[in-house]
Structure 1
Amino acid sequence: MIHPNELIIDNFAGGGGASTGIEQALGRPVDIAINHDPLAIDMHKLNHPETTHYCESVWDVDPVAVCKGRPVGFAWFSPDCKHFSKAKGNKPVDKNIRGLAWVALRWAALVPVRVIMMENVEEFTSWGPLIEVSPGVFKPDPDRKGETFEAFVKTLTTGLEKDNPAWPEIKESLGDDFPYEKLVQGLGYQLDYRVLKACDYGAPTTRERCFLVARNDGEEIRWPEKTHGPKGSRYIPYRTAADIIDWSIPTRSIFDRKKPLAEKTLIRIAKGLEKYVFCDDPFIAPNGCVAMIERQFGRSSGADIDLPLATVTAGGGGKSALVTSHMIKFRGSNIGNPTDEPVRTISSGGLHIGEVRAFLIKYYGTSSATPLTDSLGAVTTKDRFGLVTVKGQQYQIVDIGMRMLEPHELFAAQGFPSDYSFSHDSSGKKLTKENQVARCGNAVCPPLAKALVEANVRPELQEIAA
């Protein structure tokens, strides 16, 4: 529990994902949130109005001055992870961003902090020294992976030897006026870390992150029991992309566009169709999602997908209609995933997750189907592209639609509550999609933060649930 006089601090607070989970777990607002980005702080203020906000660099905030003599019961840190992420590839890194994690030492050494949690990508544990490959250009030293992370752990726990090669980086980050003798002695925390998936705790995304927990109050570190899992397991079924998709939003046909889709996009769509639609059990969109069928075949009516297919009709021609759906992701060689699985990891770098819908009608064998070996770019809506067998009935694709997921769907995929404010700033000005998605992709998934805090700060909730 948080003691009456203790503070709760959210460093690198962003738009408020961690704060949301913390508040859900503790039933009280975060006391202080810190972030350098005005747009992020503005979103945080909208959703966490009782919190005191500092819109400045975490290095410019003095923990002693901020706490005003009060101890910190719980501090959360989510330092920028892009210079550890595997998505960074072999690109040069910014050593200043890569060293942001040292700010946790600053807090732990300067003010009493009882419980610390840190979130980062799983590659965080490979944190090691950098080598200068050209003037001002740095890359991780492949022969010294994990060396700096090990030093980081030692400073928080048993102490760092005086000849450790990490000292120059530590001192460059923490400056001259710092009680380094405390790091030599060790700050005395119990510490553990694990990689956890958000979907295992109720968020409909596979986002995977490394979480570090440190505490110095003598209590054990607890890891939350997973609550969700695959269908048929002893857990609650995973929440899926289908749970967060706004089916009222129509997709746009991939054909006859003023600006044709890129070849790589068409290849992704073709591979996704082959894997997720031309299969034994394609995902059928829920009742009512037939906007493009209406455009082509007049008024249509839908029915529950568990009912006989003959009850699903389109237009007056008596042709049964279905809409399949699968997800597409524009990252590397990724082709996406089924709609009845959690959404793949959402990042801050733009709109990169979409939905593909294939529109089908009952196939009676009166027209020829386009061979699947033909180029997808040559297919038109007048052709009969592909045959799909659903529950023993053959269907043919008459159109293919695609759209990118909207910000409100992405926030839902991260596990934010439905009433979370993110589309407008505090003055009422609408934010661009890019700005909305940036706050979303950078966010901690609230359900996972909630589970971690409940396990370690309110363990009685876990015991009651068990």
Structure 2
Amino acid sequence: MKKKSTRPGPQMDLFREMIVDNFAGGGGASTGIELATGRPVDIAINHDPDAILMHKTNHPYTKHYQASVWDIDPVQVCGGQKVGLAWFSPDCKHFSKAKGGKPRDKNIRGLAWIVLRWAGKVRPRVIILENVEEFQTWGPVRKGKPVKKLAGTTFERWKEQLAALGYVIEHRELRACDYGAPTIRKRFFLIARCDCRSIVWPEPTHGEPESEAVNSGKLQPWRSAAEIIDWSIPCPSIFDTKQEIKKKYGVQAVRPLADNTM
């Protein structure tokens, strides 16, 4: 068994290893990866033509595949080149509590199995999966409803199979506001490595404004949405009527808004 390296060094061989963005949407994850590595993502995959068009617009140097992730052969698209990072953001709607009591689609909930296909076929050195925190409750679905007593069993089996392929796995729930983004929403992140190197998580840079860490100067205060909004852009009030908005701004608006929105 190889000993873990503790020596500092580059996380990727930028000239020999590929970066693949599965379930690529408009390109947000690819943008983050590009900022971190200093180079474009090599491959982006999504079945939706609008998503691929937006991704092409934002990332013109990436090779795009408009197809189901299941229709892509990792060996073929990588052409024998090693994969340094494979990113996965499977559809989260059928895990999220925001879906309420609506039926769950077990096929969409099972999209994360594609990770094992990539791990088995091209063995990416690093695999990162991002999803809602409820992803950890992944289990069987019967008649459109998750089986409560079996919650999390599929997730654990999925991790066991990934580990059996030689990956060391860690996962956490992180909040973007702790890293300088103006949102308190939590997200689930899983990192798996097969290169005998340690998994290193980012240290928070921001914190709750009244916390001791912020008051002592160890962390910066959370950013607010007000900081990133361009207030010079005219915006109709949620309380204005359709007629008032048309008169003030010359645009059509949906009014009245739904009660839940208000």
Corresponding residue to 1:252 among 219, 237, 256:
237
Cα deviation for residue 262 of structure 1 reads: 5.7
Deviations 1:159-199 (A, max 9, x none): xxxxxxxxxxxxxxxxxxxxxxxxxxx10110010000111
Partner of 1:241: 225
Q: Which runs of 4+ in 1 moved over 4 A?
A: 255-260
Letter in 2 for 1:205: T
Cα deviation for residue 251 of structure 1 reads: 3.5
Pair 1:229 & 2:197 matched: no
| 224-233 or 66-75: bigger deviation | 224-233
Cα deviation for residue 92 of structure 1 reads: 0.7
Compared CA separation, residues 236 and 97, structure 1 to 2 (3 A): same
Cα deviation for residue 255 of structure 1 reads: 5.8
Cα deviation for residue 141 of structure 1 reads: 0.6
Partner of 2:189: 211
The structure whose Rg is larger is 1
Cα deviation for residue 235 of structure 1 reads: 1.1
Secondary structure of 1:28 counterpart: coil
2:83, 2:122 within 8 Å by CA — same for their partners in 1? yes
1:61-100 residue pairs with structure 2 within 5 A? Answer: 61-100=72-111
Distance across 1 between alignment mates of 2:258 and 2:99: 24
Partner of 1:28: 39
2:106, 2:140 within 8 Å by CA — same for their partners in 1? no
Pair 1:193 & 2:171 matched: yes
Letter in 2 for 1:82: K
Partner of 2:154: 148
Secondary structure of 1:252 counterpart: coil
Distance across 2 between alignment mates of 1:21 and 1:13: 12
Structure 2 unaligned regions, length at least 5: 1-10, 244-253
2:125, 2:195 within 8 Å by CA — same for their partners in 1? yes
1:43-442 residue pairs with structure 2 within 5 A? Answer: 43-132=54-143, 138-157=144-163, 186-231=164-209, 233=214, 234-248=218-232, 249-252=234-237, 254=239, 258=243, 261=256, 264=259, 330=261
Compared CA separation, residues 131 and 261, structure 1 to 2 (3 A): same
Secondary structure of 2:259 counterpart: helix
Cα deviation for residue 2 of structure 1 reads: 1.4
Pair 1:37 & 2:48 matched: yes
Cα deviation for residue 6 of structure 1 reads: 1.0
Letter in 1 for 2:150: R
Report % sequence identity.
Answer: 59
Cα deviation for residue 85 of structure 1 reads: 0.2
Partner of 1:395: none
| 58-67 or 89-98: bigger deviation | 89-98
Partner of 1:16: 27
Cα deviation for residue 246 of structure 1 reads: 2.4
Secondary structure of 1:264 counterpart: coil
Number of aligned residue pairs: give it: 234
2:238, 2:257 within 8 Å by CA — same for their partners in 1? no
Distance across 2 between alignment mates of 1:12 and 1:262: 32
RMSD: 1.8
Cα deviation for residue 261 of structure 1 reads: 3.4
Cα deviation for residue 263 of structure 1 reads: 8.1
Structure 1 unaligned regions, length at least 5: 133-137, 158-185, 266-329, 336-466
Distance across 1 between alignment mates of 2:238 and 2:29: 38
2:45, 2:66 within 8 Å by CA — same for their partners in 1? yes
Cα deviation for residue 231 of structure 1 reads: 2.5
Distance across 2 between alignment mates of 1:126 and 1:253: 37
Compared CA separation, residues 256 and 205, structure 1 to 2 (3 A): closer
Partner of 1:346: none
What is the TM-score of this pair, normalised by structure 1?
Answer: 0.48
Compared CA separation, residues 142 and 53, structure 1 to 2 (3 A): same
Letter in 2 for 1:261: P
Partner of 2:5: none
Deviations 1:404-458 (A, max 9, x none): xxxxxxxxxxxxxxxxxxxxxxxxxxxxxxxxxxxxxxxxxxxxxxxxxxxxxxx
